[in-house]
Structure 1
Amino acid sequence: MRRPSARRITALVAAGLLLPVLAACGSGDGKGGSADGGDSALVIYSGRNEKLVKPILDELEKAVGTEVEVRYGDSAELAAQILEEGDRTKADLFFSQDAGALGALSKEGVLAKLPQSSLDAVDEAYRGGAGDWVGLSGRVRVIAYNPDEVAEEKVPDRVADVVKPEWKGKVGFAPTNASFQAFVTGMRVLEGDDATRAWLEGLKANGKVYTNNLATLDAVESGEVSLGLVNHYYWYERVAEKGEDNVDARLSFLPGGDPGALVNVAGVGVLKDSGQSETARKAVDYLLSKKAQTYFADETKEYPLAAGVTSSVEDLPPLDSLESPDIDLGKLESLQETLAMLQDAGLV
Structure 2
Amino acid sequence: MRLEISFAALVASGAILASCGGSEPSGDTAVTDDAATGESRVVNVYSARHYDSDRIIYQRFTEETGIEINLVEAGGDLLIERVRADGERSPADVIVTVDAARLHRAEQAGLFQPIEDQDILGMVPRELRDPEGYWLGFTARARVIAYSTERVDPASLTGYEALAGEDWDDRLCMRSSDNAYNQSLLASRIIALGEDAAEEWANGIAANLAVPPSGGDTDQIRAIAAGTCDASFVNHYYYVRLANSDAPDDQAVANAVALYAPGQEYGGAHVNVSGVGIAAGAPHPEEARAFVRFLLSDEAQRVFAEVTNEIPARSGVTYDNPRVAEVAEWYRDPVNLGELGDHTETAVRIFDRAEWP
Question: TM-score scaled by structure 1?
Answer: 0.83
Give secondary structure in 1 for the equivalent of 2:173: strand
Aligned position for 2:241? 237
| Alpha-carbon displacement from aligned partner over 1:29-86 (angstroms, at most 9, x marks no partner) | 9xxxx81644434221112124552332233333332331222222233223323332
**Do the aligned partners of 1:139 and 1:302 also contact (CA within 8 Å) in 2?**
yes
- Give matches, 1:129-278, under 5 Å: 129-154=131-156, 156-175=157-176, 176-207=178-209, 208=211, 209-242=213-246, 246=252, 247=254, 248-256=256-264, 258=266, 261-278=269-286
Aligned position for 2:17? none
Aligned position for 1:93? 94
**Do the aligned partners of 2:50 and 2:73 also contact (CA within 8 Å) in 1?**
yes
Question: What is the alpha-carbon distance in structure 2 between the residues aligned to residue 340 and residue 27 of structure 1?
Answer: 35
Amino acid corresponding to residue 200 of structure 2 in structure 1? A
**Do the aligned partners of 2:96 and 2:274 also contact (CA within 8 Å) in 1?**
yes
Give secondary structure in 2 for the equivalent of 1:241: coil
Question: Cα distance 1:58–1:89, how it changes in 2: closer, same or farther (>3 A)?
Answer: same
**Do the aligned partners of 2:106 and 2:112 also contact (CA within 8 Å) in 1?**
yes
Aligned position for 2:330? 322
- Give matches, 1:262-301, under 5 Å: 262-301=270-309
- Give matches, 1:56-95, under 5 Å: 56-95=57-96
Question: What is the alpha-carbon distance in structure 2 between the residues aligned to residue 339 and residue 269 of structure 1?
Answer: 25
Question: Cα distance 1:216–1:206, how it changes in 2: closer, same or farther (>3 A)?
Answer: same
Moved more, 169-178 or 87-96: 169-178
Question: What is the alpha-carbon distance in structure 2 between the residues aligned to residue 257 and residue 91 of structure 1?
Answer: 43
Moved more, 136-145 or 169-178: 169-178
Question: Cα distance 1:181–1:328, how it changes in 2: closer, same or farther (>3 A)?
Answer: same
Question: Cα distance 1:304–1:320, how it changes in 2: closer, same or farther (>3 A)?
Answer: closer
Shift of 1:137: 0.7
Shift of 1:27: 8.7
Moved more, 213-222 or 330-339: 330-339
Give secondary structure in 2 for the equivalent of 1:228: strand
Give secondary structure in 2 for the equivalent of 1:325: coil
Q: Using the aligned pairs only, state the percent identity.
A: 25
Which 5+ residue runs of structure 2 have no aligned equivalent? 1-5, 15-28, 36-41
Question: Cα distance 1:177–1:305, how it changes in 2: closer, same or farther (>3 A)?
Answer: same
Question: What is the alpha-carbon distance in structure 2 between the residues aligned to residue 36 and residue 270 of structure 1?
Answer: 17
**Do the aligned partners of 2:128 and 2:136 also contact (CA within 8 Å) in 1?**
yes
Question: What is the alpha-carbon distance in structure 2 between the residues aligned to residue 36 and residue 280 of structure 1?
Answer: 15
Shift of 1:204: 1.4
Corresponding residue pairs, total = 323
Question: What is the alpha-carbon distance in structure 1 between the residues aligned to residue 286 and residue 161 of structure 2?
Answer: 46
Question: What is the alpha-carbon distance in structure 1 between the residues aligned to residue 49 and residue 316 of structure 2?
Answer: 24
Amino acid corresponding to residue 289 of structure 1 in structure 2? S
Question: What is the alpha-carbon distance in structure 2 between the residues aligned to residue 300 and residue 130 of structure 1?
Answer: 28
Question: What is the alpha-carbon distance in structure 1 between the residues aligned to residue 202 and residue 105 of structure 2?
Answer: 24
Shift of 1:241: 0.4
Question: What is the alpha-carbon distance in structure 2 between the residues aligned to residue 27 and residue 132 of structure 1?
Answer: 30
- Give matches, 1:304-319, under 5 Å: 304-316=312-324, 318=326
Question: Cα distance 1:93–1:268, how it changes in 2: closer, same or farther (>3 A)?
Answer: same
Aligned position for 1:338? 347
Aligned position for 2:11? 26
Question: What is the alpha-carbon distance in structure 2 between the residues aligned to residue 258 and residue 23 of structure 1?
Answer: 44
Question: TM-score scaled by structure 2?
Answer: 0.81
Question: What is the alpha-carbon distance in structure 1 between the residues aligned to residue 7 and residue 244 of structure 2?
Answer: 37
The question of 1:35 aligning with 2:45 is answered no
Aligned position for 1:53? 54
Question: Cα distance 1:101–1:195, how it changes in 2: closer, same or farther (>3 A)?
Answer: same
Question: Cα distance 1:74–1:191, how it changes in 2: closer, same or farther (>3 A)?
Answer: farther
Give secondary structure in 2 for the equivalent of 1:218: helix
Shift of 1:257: 6.2
Question: What is the alpha-carbon distance in structure 1 between the residues aligned to residue 234 and residue 75 of structure 2?
Answer: 19
The question of 1:117 aligning with 2:119 is answered yes
